[in-house]
Amino acid sequence: MKNPRNFRPFDGTRRETTMSGWRGLQGAVYSLGLFLFLSLWVRPRLGLHLFWNVLIPVAPALFVLAPGVWRNICPMGTTSMLPRYLGFSRKRKISILWSKRLQFIGFILLIGMIPLRHVILDLSGPATAIALLSFAVIAVTGGLFFDWKSAWCSGLCPVQHVEKLYGGQPLFRTANAHCFSCVGCVRPCLDSVSTYRSQKAVRGASRAIEVWMTGGFVGYIWGWFHVPNFTGGETWFHLFLAYATPLGASLLSLAIYLATRRFLPEIRRDRLQALFSAAAIVCYYWYRVPALFGFGIFPADGMLADMSATFPSWFPLFSRLVTTSFFAYYFLRSNVERRSWSMRPTLAVSES
């Protein structure tokens, strides 16, 4: 019989044969993460480029195509589980109520941190490093008390809300390269369920977050790209602009989403969610790819290499056609199969 909750454990023998590969990849990415972190301190220009103009632009596409890969190799996630790996964790399970509370804090961190990029984070290597270090301390502290991914990856991590928005239909599932066996530390386990949005547990504040992310995030992205980096001479008005523009635009797109839900009920809810998820990532790459090569609205902001005199003038249009066609097709194709991000490891305790 088909298991509707997708709790099929990953076969143990196959798991052992793939784990060594994942450990190698985790080690490599962790080393890169440490290099990047140190670069932010000692070579800020290089560190800022590597973090904001290489890693971050790649991440949304990875969340769409293979969120399980990112969940397996994210250095911050690995850091949060160091106490577990080293035998220091008290390995508590987290209640559904506290899981929701942590997710709400993570959501506030997400929408609170992104505008700070224009004011300080994109401009200062040490500031970005301090933000990462703060998250690492919080993640490790959570890992000291709670088991596996419950406190950080499925709790406080701000990025998980973007992963949930984009990662509903991954190309493939991966092995879960962290949890040795599943102890049911958090419910629902984001890594192991394929239908997160229809989980009965998604209620109240969690539902509000999901609705805001679906309807409001596209506007938030659009607004963010229409604010320049404030390089010097920042005032409270700049801080206001950095927050008000994306938040104002997010309210507008959220209103459009809610009005569509209300007045066009014949559009299936999951199709509407897919449409707005697609719109969010299309909007991101619409601005981000040209900006990487010097064709941005504010050319000096978020530029990896200035190719504006080398690339043809139609490059921005071309890149937008490619990214928009790809993500529109990917999200809106009809033969979509919803999968979990990774395969649940062998259960160590009963799920009932």
Three-class DSSP labels, 227-253: CCCCCCCCCHHHHHHHHHHHHHHHHHH
Among 82, 183, 256, 272, which residue sits at the site for ligand SF4 (rule: CB under 6 A)?
Answer: 183
For the segment 313-352, give every residue that binds ligand SF4 (CB under 6 A).
344-345
Among 131, 186, 279, 282, which residue sits at the site for ligand SF4 (rule: CB under 6 A)?
Answer: 186
Q: Is 62 in the site for ligand SF4 (CB under 6 A)?
A: no
Binding window for ligand SF4 (CB under 6 A); candidates: 69-77, 176-184, 234-242, 315-323? 176-184
Among 66, 129, 189, 275, which residue sits at the site for ligand SF4 (rule: CB under 6 A)?
Answer: 189
Residues 6+ apart with CB under 8 A from 43: 125
Q: Cα dist. 207→4, 104, 115, 218, 348 in Å?
A: 21, 10, 24, 18, 30
Q: Is 288 in the site for ligand SF4 (CB under 6 A)?
A: no
Give dist(CA 14, CA 21) in Å, integer: 12
For the segment 116-155, give every residue that binds ligand SF4 (CB under 6 A).
148-150
**Amino acid symbol at 1:** M
Report CA 318 to chain centroid distance, whole Å: 26
Nearer to ligand SF4, 49 or 344 (CB): 344
Q: Is 176 in the site for ligand SF4 (CB under 6 A)?
A: yes
**Amino acid symbol at 221:** I
Nearer to ligand SF4, 160 or 253 (CB): 160
Q: Cα dist. 310→170, 178, 291, 300 in Å?
A: 35, 44, 14, 16
Nearer to ligand SF4, 184 or 294 (CB): 184
Q: Is 185 in the site for ligand SF4 (CB under 6 A)?
A: yes
| Contact indicator for 249, 222 with CB cutoff of 8 Å | yes
Question: Nearest approach, Cβ of 327 to ligand SF4 (angstroms)?
Answer: 28
Q: Is 250 in the site for ligand SF4 (CB under 6 A)?
A: no
- CA-nearest of 44, 42, 35, 76 to 59 is 76
- Which residues of the chain form contacts with ligand SF4 (CB under 6 A)? 148-150, 176, 179, 182-186, 189, 191-192, 344-345
